[in-house]
Chain A
Amino acid sequence: MRRFVLGVFTQPEACVEAARQLHAQGVPGLDAYSPYPLHGIDEALELPPSKVPLVALVGGLFGVIGGYTMQWWMNGVDYPINVGNRPPHGFWTNIPITFECGILLAVLSIFFSSIFGFFQLPRTYHPVFESEQFRTASLDRFWISVETEDESKVEGLREQLRAVGAKRIHTVLEAT
């Protein structure tokens, strides 16, 4: 059963600084929540680089290859039409559609991978929502959560969070 120790901060800089200190102390399972993007929090938590660019690149390359192949097959092989004696398969005239298919698939792959992969959207619940006050994370408060399986560590984590300046500390249990 997972436990989440939550600490709330009123100032963004204090939250980033606390995250940096906790990370430096080697606390595992850290995460941060804030109503708007916090500068420096990625560096403070040393989060791994985002995977979104890679997904976009792969999607875009599929779009480019697919878009070009589609035009080559339709204009050059399946149904060639002679227009003013131009070659049925013209490389340059295929570029705009190829480009746009690349953009389309890149965007669609970001959209769907985010919704179903990164946000895991059909799941609308997260254990930290057990804390009634956690809703201020989307208003005006900054939260740091520490995830742990081990109940004996909870008290120590509460102390550590208090030491780095958390205003109030909650512990929530994952509902079973």
Chain B
Amino acid sequence: MSHEQKPLPDANLPPFAGGRTLMLGGLAGGVAGLLLTLLGGLAAPRPALLAYLVAFVYWLGLAVGTTTLVLANHAAGARWNVTIRRLGESIGATIPLFALLFIPLLLGASHIWFWVAPDTTASKELLQLLAQKRSYLNLPSFALRAVVYFIIWCGVAWRLRALSLRQDESGDPALTLAQRRLAAPGLIFFILAMTFASFDWLMSLQPTWYSTIFGLYIHAGAFVCSLALICLIVTGLRSSDAPWGRLITVDHQHNLGKLLLAFTAFWAYMAFSQYMLIWVGNLPEELQWIVSRSRGVWRPVGQLILFGQFLIPFFILLSRKVKRTTGRLAALSVWFLFIHYVDLYWVVMPAAAPDQLGLHWTHFTAFFGIGGVSVAAAVYLMRGVRPVPVKDPFLEDSLRYAQP
């Protein structure tokens, strides 16, 4: 008896044409938000720039994190992810926009980074420490390094997307090989750039403090948040009646949920390693960062992050049912997208104001400003291209994917 295999849905989708409302709405809201933040910045530069920094790192982290997922899947030779890969490629390709959005931070650097123009009335010891760090922490090399980070990020993300789009036309399997060859070295440079970027932009807010694991802590948080973003989009597509959504099965969603579980634990591992080593070392120059974040108003915020970004979601995600239920995974993803902002807020704001929350209205305008324009850019990059790589040699494997 010859047995027929289950028929696959038609994957040869036409170029994506939806999302027009989201794109235009995002653009309008984003531009409005950025203009309001600019007004706030002209009135009070320091709080507005700090709010802008939190929002900038948050949204950039999403673009970097989704590309990291694509790179990691290529490096591992994954086949299951083909139907969701174009999402990551499009979101990652928004990074050039962030190079543009970095300019305000560079212009206002002296308002938020103390080392740019140290106050000469500060303690002699602090000034001497900063003088010793001047060969790394000075504005020209800071700007130059930022250029290097953006060249690495944009180069890798755009190359990946270009190779993948070219395959939509030609179907040449050599293009898959080219993407896979780019993946492993690309991953190394990608994460190194993120590590140094977090040293430059976040760690240097308290210029006498240092922690070597800090870059991975930031990147791990951004990666969890990007997985949550992709989960949210995937669950949204699956519950819509778009033909694209029919190509993404519950097994793909389950895999994303498993990655979310694994990388929440990875984030917690990074956070714990940083905290425990500082705690047990008990040295003043390392302790200052933890001390300012575990006193007063910042203590409950830190506890919220510990429970909200690791302990509670970890045990919820252990359940197979949660990972396979569209609504529950979507709700959890929204929570992750929120708590990662709180995490970055907790990283940035105590450096500026150790004894108050410092919530300024520009936090909202900057968040929705940068978010609006980057969402609009991602939708713009998605429109006009095929929603799945239609000629990828592993597309059929991906459509047939079932949980082992």
Interface residues of A in 104-151 (CB under 8 A from B): none
Can you list 15 contacts pairing A with B, beta carbon distance less than 8 Å? A11-B1, A13-B3, A14-B3, A17-B3, A39-B402, A40-B402, A86-B282, A90-B279, A92-B275, A92-B276, A92-B280, A93-B276, A93-B279, A93-B280, A96-B276
**Binary flags per residue of A87-109, CB closer than 8 Å to B gives 1, else 0:** 00010110110000000000000
Whether the pair A14, B402 counts as a contact (CB closer than 8 A) is no
Chain B contact patch, size range: 10 to 19
Which one of B5, B275, B276, B280 contacts A13 once the chains associate, using CB atoms below 8 Å? Answer: B5
Please name all residues of chain A whose beta carbon is closer than 8 Å to the beta carbon of B5 when the two chains form the complex: 13
Residues of B within 8 A of A90 (CB): 279-280
* B367-404 vs A, Cβ < 8 Å mask (1 yes, 0 no): 00000000000000000000000000000000000101
Q: How far is the CA of A95 from the CA of B279 in the complex (A)?
A: 13
B1-18 to A contact mask, C-beta < 8 Å, 1/0: 111110000000000000
Residues of A within 8 A of B2 (CB): 11
Check A37 for interface membership: any CB of B closer than 8 A.
yes
Let me know if A165 and B1 touch, CB within 8 A.
Answer: yes
Of B1, B3, B279, B404, which contacts A37 at CB under 8 A? Answer: B404
Say whether B272 faces chain A, with CB atoms less than 8 Å apart: yes
Q: Is the CB of B279 within 8 A of A92?
A: yes
Chain B interface main SS type: loop
- In the complex, which of the residues A11, A39, A84 contacts B3, with contact meaning CB atoms closer than 8 Å? A11
Which residues of A line the B interface, CB within 8 A?
A: 11, 13-14, 17, 37, 39-40, 84, 86, 90, 92-93, 95-96, 165
Query: What's the Cα separation between A90 and B404 when bound, in Å?
Result: 42
B272 — which chain A residues lie within 8 A by C-beta?
A: 92, 95
Give the Cβ gap from B320 to chain A, nearest Cβ, in Å: 8
Residues of B within 8 Å of A11, CB to CB, are 1-3
A96 to B273 alpha-carbon distance, docked (Å): 9
B280 / chain A contacts, CB cutoff of 8 Å: 86, 90, 92-93
Residues of B within 8 A of A17 (CB): 3
B76 to chain A, nearest CB (A): 20
Contacts of A14 in B (CB 8 A): 1, 3
**Smallest CB separation, B368 vs chain A (Å):** 38
Known: A92-B279, A95-B276, A96-B276. 7 other contacts (CB 8 A): A37-B404, A39-B402, A86-B282, A90-B280, A92-B275, A92-B276, A93-B280
Distance in angstroms from A118 CB to nearest chain B CB is 18
Q: Mark B206-241, 1 if CB is under 8 A from A, else 0.
A: 000000000000000000000000000000000000
Taking CB as reference atom, which chain A residue is nearest B400? A39
Chain A contacts for B276, CB-based, 8 A: 92-93, 95-96
Q: For residue B404, which residues in chain A have a CB less than 8 angstroms away from its CB?
A: 37
Q: Please indicate which of the listed interface residues A11, A13, A93, A165 has the most CB atoms of chain B within 10 Å of its own CB.
A: A13
Q: Are B282 and A84 in contact (CB under 8 A)?
A: yes
A10's closest neighbor in chain B, by CB? B1
> CB-CB < 8 A to B275: which residues of A?
92
With the chains together, A39 CA to B2 CA distance in Å?
18
A-contact bits for B260-276, CB 8 A (1 contact / 0 none): 00000000000010011
Q: Mark B330-369, 1 if CB is under 8 A from A, else 0.
A: 0000000000000000000000000000000000000000
A1 vs B140: C-alpha distance when bound (angstroms): 87
Residues of B within 8 A of A37 (CB): 404
The residue of chain A having its C-beta at the shortest distance from the C-beta of B276 within the complex is A92
Q: Report the separation of the CA atoms of residues A129 and B279 in the bound assembly, to the nearest whole angstrom.
A: 61
Chain B nearest CB from A96 CB (Å) reads 8
Residues of B close to A84: CB separation below 8 A:
282
Bound CA–CA A42/B275 (angstroms):
44
**Cβ-closest chain B residue relative to A57:** B318
How many Å lie between the Cα of A95 and that of B3 in the bound state? 54
Q: In the complex, what distance in Å separates the CA atom of A40 from the CA atom of B3?
A: 15
Q: Which residues of B contact A92 (CB under 8 A)?
A: 272, 275-276, 279-280
Determine how close the nearest CB of chain B comes to the CB of A127; give it in whole angstroms. Answer: 28
- List 9 tightest A-B contacts by C-beta distance, closest first: A13-B3, A39-B402, A14-B3, A92-B276, A165-B1, A92-B279, A11-B3, A93-B280, A14-B1
CB neighbours (8 Å) of A86 from chain B are: 280, 282
Complex: A14 Cα to B2 Cα, angstroms: 8
Q: Mark B269-296, 1 if CB is under 8 A from A, else 0.
A: 0001001100110100000000000000
Which among B1, B4, B279, B282 has the highest number of chain A CB atoms within 10 Å?
B1
CB distance from A82 to the nearest CB of B (A): 14
Q: How many angstroms from the CA of A17 to the CA of B3 in the assembled complex?
A: 9
B1-56: which residues lie under 8 A (CB-CB) from chain A? 1-5
A43 to B275, CA, bound (A): 45
Tell me the minimal C-beta distance from A44 to chain B in angstroms.
13
What is the CB-to-nearest-CB distance from A106 to chain B, in angstroms, rounded to a whole number?
A: 12
Rounded to whole angstroms, the CA-CA distance of A96 and B276 in the bound complex is 10
Of chain B, the residue at the smallest CB distance from A9 is B1
Chain A residues, CB < 8 A from B402: 39-40
Once the chains are docked, how many angstroms separate the CA of A62 from the CA of B181?
45
Most buried by A among B3, B5, B404: B3
